[in-house]
Structure 1
Amino acid sequence: MKLASNGLQFEVIDEGPRNGQPLLMIMGLGMQLTAWPDGLVQQLIARGFRVIRFDNRDIGLSSHLDEQGLPNLGLAAMLYALHLPTPQPAYMLQDMARDALGLLDALQVRECHVLGASMGGMIAQHLALLAPERVRSLSLMMTTSGARRLPGPSLKLRAALLSRPARPNDVDCVVDHLLGIYRLIGSPAYPTEPAELRERVACQVKRSHHPRGVARQLAAVVADSQRAKLVSQIRAPTHIIHGKADPLVPPAAAPDLQRRIAGSTLDLVDGMGHDLPEPLWPRFVAGIAGVAGL
């Protein structure tokens, strides 16, 4: 269904018992709501959650902001590396947190638990800072405080992330390109069967493929330079889940985040990269439900 928030339109799926504990799930950079595996969603529903998923702005079936133009990511990355101010992006992660808050209003959800993955975890942190009275608990997966001293991805991975498919209008070529990236960031101890991964990626691309939106989201991530100084103000019960083999957000980000958020718990997972492997779903659900008091 489509809901209005913050002047934009958002594609939303609201599942589970109406009297369940609302759980707002926020996906990462360039990822659609369908990137949350259905099996994981069903396990969360079975634990008593009412699961709310949505496409972030500029991605999937939500509003695209192409009128904002394309950012100069090369310049932004260089300035970021030099610890200099980056260009003003089309929008900030705080704006994306306000999107989420408006969706809660549209759904008449006063308080909820929040689960954010990668960039979604950054947005979730901003949501907990923006409206602490609305966030009952916070589960942060494979994400970071944004502190600049933390290690980042390798140059090889950065180059892969900034690369483009040879034929951007050819679905098979786009799928092959994305598969190459997913293989670089996936969990070495929990590899997804190749045919299954291809089918999953192809479904995502056919539903929506919007690289211009990904670029604007990435510019918002790069410009989000002050969050590390603020996250110590988060008071919601917080659980952090991170893979020890994450090449995109290296695992040093997890204990840093735990140190900054008082009382937070940390689950560092052997062999997990930057994805959501099926064998780990029960472990994720246990941690998310635990911090939520379920």
Structure 2
Amino acid sequence: MLNFCESTPLSSIIYHPEQRVSANQIQINYDSFGDTNHPPIVLIMGLATQMIYWDRQFCQLLASQGYWVIRFDNRDIGKSTWLDSLPTPSSLALLTNAVFRRPLGAAYLLSDMMEDTLGLLDALGIESAHVIGASMGGMIAQELAIHHPQRVKSLTSIMSTTGNRKLPKPSASFSLKMLKSPPKESSKAVAYGIQLWRLIHGEHYPFDQQKILSLINQALQRGFNPKGNTRQLAAILDSPDRTIPLGSLRVPSLVLHGADDPLVPVACGVATAKAIPNAKIKIYSGMGHTLPSQLYDEITAEILDHIKATNS
């Protein structure tokens, strides 16, 4: 396992402030850590979650081993383009999709969000990168590896799934707690956000309420777009199962998952690893659907060992 004692001190990691670039006919907002001449790592965040939830320390730990680490806002969130002219599914449409599997007619799919990531790589002059995705970001990363394997040096899929809707779902008790509709007013978003993050974090690792409160307030200042969150959800629900195409992957792949993930059960991570030939899997006891700061060293070391094994 990697020894961070031999790495560059985190305080000396170069930070490149946020900026926007044109990618796939929209504007993508990003920032980065480390020397831009180093091999790139691209981080793709999950549903309704801005790039800032890739914790700065997490990014610095990856960059400390000689990598250029890039995080960005997906479409319809944060400071990237909001597609407000596109339709948003109603609550009734989401309900009928859940019960009857009726297509939502999503404004875009995960494959379109994958093209955003590809466009960002093009805009930054990156031929290929180590790609890490969390939750929905893992789905987008899988799409990129499936459709553009030559652009992906390695794949890390974190707390994600294959898109097979027959896989286990959240428990009934957890789903009942999640039934409360997200607020449409930013004034109510803080209390809702704290409640949601506490739920998905789980009970094993301490919940850092002050840190999450700070991130929620920062996210609200960067942009509050509930309809965009719903359009992202529709993209997940209307996108096809990736199980069969994942079977054709030859990209070195790592799957990370929490044993106590209440939102995307660990069986989904196991199914992802089984679908990808020669994929490695690491399951973290006590971890929910977040990346606990107590595991940053262990998780980033696991990822970096995986990346370094590709010799690129």
TM-score normalised by L of structure 1: 0.94
Residues in 2 aligned to 1:211 and 1:52: alpha-carbon distance in whole angstroms = 25
Q: Aligned residue for 2:252?
A: 237
Look up the match of 1:25.
43
Counterpart-to-counterpart distance in 2, 1:195 and 1:14: 24
Write the letter of the residue equivalent to 1:192.
F
Contact 1:73 1:219 in 2 (8 A): no
Question: 2:283 aligns to what SS in structure 1?
Answer: strand
State the AA in 2 paired with 1:254: G
Could you tell me the percent identity over the aligned residues?
Answer: 36
Q: Does 1:200 align with 2:204?
A: no
Please state if 1:129 is matched with 2:146. yes
1:77 is displaced (CA, Å) by 4.3
Residues 6-85 of structure 1 mapped to structure 2, 5 A cutoff = 6-82=24-100, 84-85=101-102
The count of aligned residue pairs is 291
**Does structure 1 residue 214 correspond to structure 2 residue 232?**
no
Residue aligned with 1:79, SS:
helix
Structure-1 separation of matches of 2:90 and 2:119: 29
Matches within 5 A, 1:1-294: 1-82=19-100, 84-158=101-175, 160-161=177-178, 163-164=180-181, 168-171=184-187, 173-293=188-308
CA distance in 1, matches of 2:255, 2:33: 24
**Residue 6 (structure 2) aligns with:** none
Question: Is the 8 Å Cα contact of residues 143 and 249 (structure 1) preserved in structure 2?
Answer: yes
- SS state at 1:51 partner: strand
Q: In the TM superposition, what is the alpha-carbon distance from 1:161 to its structure 2 partner? A: 4.5
Deviation, structure 1 residue 170: 4.7
List 4+ stretches of structure 1 deviating above 4 A.
159-162
Post-superposition Cα deviations, 1:48-70, rounded to whole Å, max 9, x if no partner, equal: 21011110000000000111121
- Mapped to 2, the partners of 1:98 and 1:161 lie a distance apart of 31
Whole-angstrom distance in 2 between the partners of 1:187 and 1:125: 26
Q: How far off is 1:265 after superposition?
A: 0.6
Q: CA RMSD in A?
A: 1.7
After TM superposition, give the deviation of residue 205 of structure 1 in Å: 1.9
Task: Give the direction of change, closer, same or farther, for the CA distance of 1:197–1:128 in structure 2 (3 Å limit).
Answer: same
C-alpha distance 158-212 of structure 1, shift in aligned 2 (>3 A) = farther
- Give the Å deviation of 1:288: 1.2
> Does the 8 A contact of 2:186 with 2:224 survive in 1?
no
1:206-260 deviation digits (Å, cap 9, x = unpaired)? 2221111000000010111332222112211011110001000001111111111
Secondary structure, aligned partner of 2:204: coil
Q: Deviations over 1:167-198 (max 9, x none)?
A: x4353x21001111111110422122222322
Q: Report if the CA contact (8 A) 1:237-1:264 is conserved.
A: yes
Question: What stretches of structure 1 of length at least 5 have no aligned partner?
Answer: none
**Is this contact kept in 2: 1:93–1:220, CA < 8 A?**
yes
CA contact (8 A) 2:262 2:288 kept: yes
TM score, norm. by length of structure 2: 0.88
Q: Secondary structure at the match of 1:198?
A: helix
